[in-house]
Amino acid sequence: MPICDFKMNVCPIDYRYGRAEMLSLFEEGARLGAMLKVEAALAQSQSKYGIIPKEAAKDIEKAVTGGKVKAETVREIEKDIGHDVMAVVKALSDVAGRGAPYVHFGATSNDIIDTSTALQLRDALRIIKSDIVDLETVIADRALAEKDTIMLGRTHGQAALPITFGFKLSVYLLELDRQLERIDECEKRVVVGKMSGAVGTGASFGKSFFSIQEDIMERLGISLEQASGQIVGRDRYAEMVSVLSNAVTTCERMATEVRNLQRTEIDEVEEYFDSSKQVGSSTMAQKRNPVKAENVCGLARIVRAFVTPSFENMILWHERDLTNSSAERIIIPHVLVLTDDILTKTRDIFANLQLKRENMARNLERAKGLIMAERVMLHLAEKMGRQEAHEAVRNAAMKSVEGSISFREVLLSAENIASAISPEELDKLLDATTYTGHAAEITERAVKQIKNMRALHTAPI
C-alpha cells in the first residue's frame, strides 16, 4: 500500500519549481493550442493562394478557435498510432467539417512542431526579459540607496580596499543589462518557424511556396527559416540555451555573494528570514540559512547542464534525424521555466535583503588599517618614489600581520616612513571612510545609464 496519497509527480518543476505564468506556456494544452494555431494559419494561407478551398480553411479555423480539439482526444489517438503530430492532425480532421481532407496539407511534422515552438519561445522570452527589467529596477533602487554605505572590498577572499555596497550592486546592474542585451539580440534568431516540407525544399507547396511560407509566419508574428532541412537550425536553440545559461550564472554570482556575506564570521547581509514561522533546520533551531540564494545557485547549475546536449542536437544526420526531439522536449521547457524561476527569486532576495551596516563597519575596523596600505604607499611615492614606497609599506604591513601590531604603530616606528608622514597626516590616510574613490559616482552613472536605456527602449518588453 502507498504511504501517501499524493498524485505521482516525478519532475520537481511539476510541484516545486517554476511560476504559473511560465509553466502555463509549456503545459500540454498550451502546446496543443500552439500547434493548432499553426495548422489554422497554414490552411488560411493555402486558401489565400488557391491551394485549398476557402470553405475548408474556414472550417479548420472554426474547429481551432472553437476549442473543438481536446487534449485528451489527442492523447488517446497518439497512444494508438504512436505519432504526436499525426494525432493532432487526426483529431483536428475529425472536427474540421469541410476542412477535413485539407488539414496539414503539404506539411511535415516539424513544420508544425518548430513553428509552434517559436510561438512558445517568443512568449517565454518576453517573460524572461521582463524578469530582468524587474530585477534591474530592484538593484538600481538599492544601489542608489546604498551608494555611500561603506564596506570592506575583498579580493582572493581577503580584505582589499574599502568600497560601498551600492558600488557592488552597480557592477551587478550593468552585467544584468548585458544579459538583457544578449537575449534581445538572440531573440530574432531564436523565434523562427518554417513551412517548407519534408526536406525543406517546399516541393509539397507548389509554385506558391515562398508566398505561403512568408504569409504563414506573418500571420503568426514570427520570422522564417530561409533555408532548412526538415527542421529549423538547432544552432538557434543552442544559442538561446547558452545565452540563458549566461544570464542565470549572473544570478548565481549575485546569490553566491549573498551567501558569502551572510557567513557567520562576516555577517554583513542576511537573506530575509521570517522569524515568526520560518524554520532553518530540523535540528539546529538557531539556523537562519540563505536558502533562496542556495536554491538559485543549484538551479543555475541545472540550466547550464543543458548547454552540452543543446549543442549536440545540432549534429544531425543528413536533412534530419530524431535524436534531437526527445532531448528538446526536456531541455526547452526546463531551461525557460528554471530561468524565470531563478530571475524572480534573485529579485526577491535583493528586494528584501537585510543589510548589517554595523557589522560592515566592524569588519573594516578589524582590518586594523591594513586595507589603507595602498593609500599610504601612494602618498609616500610622491616623496621617495613608487617602488621604494611600496617596499617600505609592504615591510610595515608584514610586521603588523606577523606581530599582531597595529599598522599605524608599525608605520610610525619605521624611520623612513615617519620622516615623510606626520602622525596627523597618517591618521587621515588611514581613514577608510574617505577612500572609496568614485564609488558613489560610478553607482549613480550606472543607474542613470540603465534608466536612459529603458527610456529609449521602444520595443515592448
User: What is the pairing mode between strands 269-270 and 354-355?
Assistant: antiparallel
User: Which of 316, 408, 423 has its CA nearest to residue 371?
Assistant: 408
Spatial CB neighbours of 111, under 8 Å, sequence gap ≥ 6: 38, 42, 194, 195, 196, 197
CA 196 to CA 204: how far, in whole Å? 8
CA 296 to CA 317: how far, in whole Å? 37
User: What is the pairing mode between strands 223-224 and 192-193?
Assistant: parallel
CA 360 to CA 266: how far, in whole Å? 8
Task: Provide the grid cell at 129.
Answer: 526579459
- Residues annotated as catalytic are 156, 281
User: Hey, how many other C-beta atoms are within 10 angstroms of the C-beta on 49?
Assistant: 15
- Write down the residue that cell numbers 513553428 correspond to: 115
Q: Which helix (H) or strand (E) holds 150?
A: strand 150-155
Question: Do residues 204 and 198 lie in contact, with contact meaning Cβ atoms separated by under 8 Å?
Answer: yes
Question: Do residues 192 and 224 lie in contact, with contact meaning Cβ atoms separated by under 8 Å?
Answer: yes
Question: Do residues 102 and 60 lie in contact, with contact meaning Cβ atoms separated by under 8 Å?
Answer: yes
Question: Do residues 290 and 229 lie in contact, with contact meaning Cβ atoms separated by under 8 Å?
Answer: no
CA 336 to CA 332: how far, in whole Å? 6
Spatial CB neighbours of 413, under 8 Å, sequence gap ≥ 6: none
Question: Do residues 19 and 341 lie in contact, with contact meaning Cβ atoms separated by under 8 Å?
Answer: yes
